[in-house]
Amino acid sequence: MPFLELIEIAKRYPGVVALDRVTLSVVPGEVIGLIGENGAGKSTLMKVLGGVIEPSAGAIRVDGVERKPFTVGDAMKAGIAFVHQELNVFDNLDAAANVFIGREPLAGGFLKLIDRKKLHAAVRPLLDRLGVDFAPDTPVAEMSLAQRQLLEIAKALSLNARLVIMDEPTSSLTLSETDRLMRVIDGLKKEGVSVVFISHRLNEVETCADRVVVLRDGRMVGELDRAAITHDAMIRFMIGRELKALYIPPAHERANGTTLEIEGVRTSAYPDEAVSLKVRGGEILGLAGLVGSGRTELARAVFGVDPLRGGGLKLNGEPIEIRAPREAIGRGVYLVPEDRKRAGLLLDSSIARNVSLPDLRAYARGLLVRNQAEFDNADRQRKRLNIKAPSVKAEVGTLSGGNQQKVVLAKWLSMRPKVIIFDEPTRGVDVGAKHEIYEIMRALANSGVAILMISSDMEEVIGVSDRIAVMHEGRISGFLDRGDFSEHNVMRLAVGVRPNS
């Protein structure tokens, strides 16, 4: 017997049909994999289930009884916990306070102060269950994206839910954190708790799902039971065709272009370690390593966001100084950042404005921004990256997660880069769009651009790179040439073991 039923749910936005009569029921203790391309309607469907948005049509039944309206409070009462795709943590609180926000145990007494001791004691077992490495009193502002994601999951676990919705829970987790989450999901299932698991990492879906539901353009286009869940079947339903090769082979002859040398650079994350590496024009150098190994900090230092604590940079052999992103951009050195919300995008501006932002001067005549040029360029990028939106005037905040990531890319690709650092370029992006992004990266390399690609997706690092550099605890633990590429070799270096020992 299903305890939750969504019947013929529709959701329309101006110019967009986000959901078109979707019917889905949830049985206790089952894990449903929910997949589909960027903008297919996955998050929207889950927001309806979480009471966050009201459907334009359709019914919701809990234990056989129709509930209308269905608010966030109703969803909580029905035992639905939600790990959102866009993280909802409160920056000014610590980890424990975030887990229990609004439900803090109160100490006795007139002032009803929040009992911090009790709070921390209650949060500890949840953090242990996820195997996290931070203390309950860690301020959220100091936490990495991965830690924030784990914190959201801890919060969902604390609710003793009947259904836990996980919208892209692993997009910034490491392999071992993901493994542990898979075990947590298994444990929930054994306790009779249901899980809806949304991910673009199809192997995770394959690992944990009892059945897979596929959305395309707001419609349910397929359902696979356990025995039928394979990569090929999932991709076929998602994009409506086969995808032969996801990765683009390197060109035979390497283009000449700009070479970036990073020489003895120290960052504030690891001031005692010096990093040296060279990215040649025409190549894609993959930068692998565990989350926290210092890759993002290195990228930020090179781009001038954070000051260098030592060492220097050279462009084509010439020493250069970059003290601010503006200077980096002036030299053709770009960073496509990891955290689009914090560093990448203005969510309440249009796609067009976001795309033209780093280079507004190119569109400005006097003080007026030439809207037409801005729109034309943004529209070219929208088509190239297949960004799903009614027009480039749409606010970026209304786009689906993966489409927001494409806007970040569009913004940098519309300029003339010499060196680009991509930090997790395909996080949250569907397979079809991944393929497009790899094509663009390879085309840039073939035109002489030097590309440094930070990625925690092992398959991607191996599939896309010409060479791989691996970082471990703030230093380079080794380089691999294509002939030596293997998950095993990358992993050994990432955990700090020398290749041939």
Ligand X SMILES: Nc1ncnc2c1ncn2[C@@H]1O[C@H](COP(=O)(O)OP(=O)(O)OP(=O)(O)O)[C@@H](O)[C@H]1O
Is residue 42 involved in binding ligand X (CB under 6 A)?
yes
Closest to Mg ion by CB, 30 vs 37, is 37
3-state SS assignment for residue 73: helix
CA-CA distance, 400 to 380, in Å (whole number)? 19
Identity (one letter) of the amino acid at 24?
A: L
Is residue 43 involved in binding Mg ion (CB under 5 A)?
yes
Considering only residues 144 through 163, tell me which ones interact with ligand X, judged by CB under 6 A.
Answer: none
DSSP 191: T
Smallest separation, CB 196 to ligand X (Å): 12
Closest to ligand X by CB, 8 vs 487, is 8
Closest to ligand X by CB, 218 vs 304, is 218
Closest to ligand X by CB, 104 vs 167, is 167
Is residue 401 involved in binding Mg ion (CB under 5 A)?
yes
Residue-wise DSSP of 443-475: HHHHTT-EEEEE---HHHHHHH-SEEEEEETTE
Distance between first and last Cα of the chain: 56
Which of 442-445's residues contact partners 24+ apart within 8 Å by CB, and which partners? 442/248, 442/250, 442/251, 442/284, 444/413, 444/417, 444/420, 445/250, 445/251, 445/255, 445/282, 445/283, 445/284
Closest to ligand X by CB, 299 vs 389, is 389
Q: What are the angstrom distances between the C-alpha of 447 and each of 284, 316, 360, 398, 426?
A: 12, 16, 25, 34, 21
Is residue 169 involved in binding Mg ion (CB under 5 A)?
no
Identity (one letter) of the amino acid at 98?
A: N
Closest to ligand X by CB, 41 vs 281, is 41
The only residue of 4, 6, 9, 16 in contact with ligand X, by rule CB under 6 A: 16
Closest to ligand X by CB, 407 vs 494, is 407
B/e letters for 357-392, b = 16+ CB within 10 Å, e = fewer, are ebbeeebeeeeebeeeebbebbbebbebbebbbeeb
Considering only the stretches 40-48, 110-118, 302-310, 337-345, report the one whose residues sit in contact with ligand X under the rule CB under 6 A: 40-48
Judged on CB neighbours under 10 Å (0-12, 13-18, 19+), 428 is buried
Smallest separation, CB 52 to ligand X (Å): 11
CA-CA distance, 329 to 129, in Å (whole number)? 44
CB 445 within 8 A of CB 283: yes
CB 476 within 8 A of CB 491: no
Closest to ligand X by CB, 35 vs 308, is 35
Is residue 36 involved in binding ligand X (CB under 6 A)?
yes
Is residue 171 involved in binding Mg ion (CB under 5 A)?
no
Considering only the stretches 80-88, 281-289, 438-446, 456-464, report the one whose residues sit in contact with Mg ion under the rule CB under 5 A: 80-88
Smallest separation, CB 26 to Mg ion (Å): 18
Residue-wise DSSP of 285-304: EEEEE-TTSSHHHHHHHHTT
**Residues 384-423: x where in contact with ligand X by CB under 6 A, - otherwise, as a string:** ----xx--------xxxxxx--------------------
Task: Say how many residues touch ligand X, by CB under 6 A.
Answer: 21
Considering only the stretches 36-44, 65-73, 108-116, 184-192, report the one whose residues sit in contact with ligand X under the rule CB under 6 A: 36-44
Smallest separation, CB 205 to ligand X (Å): 13
Give the residue among 198, 155, 167, 170 at the shortest CA–CA distance from 36: 198
Give the residue among 47, 105, 104 at the shortest CA–CA distance from 80: 47
**Residues 83-102: x where in contact with ligand X by CB under 6 A, - otherwise, as a string:** --x-----------------
| Partner touching 169 among ligand X, Mg ion, none, CB below 5 to 8 Å by kind | none
| Partner touching 381 among Mg ion, ligand X, none, CB below 5 to 8 Å by kind | none
Given the rule CB under 5 A, which residues bind Mg ion? 43, 85, 400-401
Given the rule CB under 6 A, which residues bind ligand X? 13, 16, 18, 36, 38-44, 85, 388-389, 398-403, 430
